[in-house]
């Protein structure tokens, strides 16, 4: 599941506007700022993801410039997704302005957990985290 930041999702719109405002007013190390915000979004999303087998939670991934099709093994240790993200975010070059950071989940049922179905309420792990991080940027 890849949800573009500019999608009409309410929280994503708020996040996009807050991020633009914050970056335009920030001075200094933009790469550090990008890493920090991406990590906050990933960690919040991982922590809000419901866990049964650990497959959904462990498959939150971060990539720079591209999305992979990988589906990782189930793991109930939420630290796996977070550790991988730290490694990927460390790879942002010092001239990383303009880099696109993707936060995504390739588990086939991720979208149903995020948005819900007729029989299941939405969990909104990513959308709620985007909203919370956006508010923290103001």
The count of other CB atoms within 10 Å of the CB of residue 12 is 19
Question: Which among 29, 25, 95 has a CA at the least distance from the CA of 64?
Answer: 95
For the chain, the domain total comes to 1
Residue 28 lies in a domain: yes
Residue 53 in any domain: the answer is yes
Residue 59's domain spans which residues?
16-137
Query: What kind and span of H or E run contains 35?
Result: helix 30-48
Question: For the whole prediction, is pTM greater than 0.85?
Answer: no
Each residue's pLDDT tens digit in the chain (138 positions)? 554 444 444 666 777 777 677 666 666 667 778 888 899 999 999 999 999 999 999 999 999 888 999 998 887 776 788 888 888 888 877 665 677 889 999 999 999 999 999 999 999 999 999 999 988 876
Confirm whether 5 is domain-assigned: no
Write the CA distances from 136 to 2, 37, 53, 82, 104, integer angstroms.
Answer: 23, 10, 31, 20, 21
Per DSSP, the three-state class of 94 is coil
Q: Is residue 30 part of a domain?
A: yes
């Amino acid at each position: 599941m890849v949800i573009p930041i500019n999608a009409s999702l309410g929280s994503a719109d708020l996040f996009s506007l807050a991020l633009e405002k914050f970056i335009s007013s920030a001075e200094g190390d933009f790469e550090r700022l990008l890493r920090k915000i991406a990590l906050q979004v990933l960690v919040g999303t991982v922590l809000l993801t419901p866990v049964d087998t650990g497959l959904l939670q462990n498959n939150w991934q971060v990539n720079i410039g591209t999305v992979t099709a990988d589906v990782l093994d189930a793991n109930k240790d939420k630290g796996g997704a977070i550790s991988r993200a730290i490694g990927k975010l460390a790879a942002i070059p010092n001239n990383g302005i303009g880099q696109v950071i993707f936060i995504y989940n390739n588990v086939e049922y991720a979208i149903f957990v995020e948005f819900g179905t007729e029989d299941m309420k939405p969990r909104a792990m990513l959308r709620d985290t985007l909203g919370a991080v956006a508010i923290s940027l103001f």
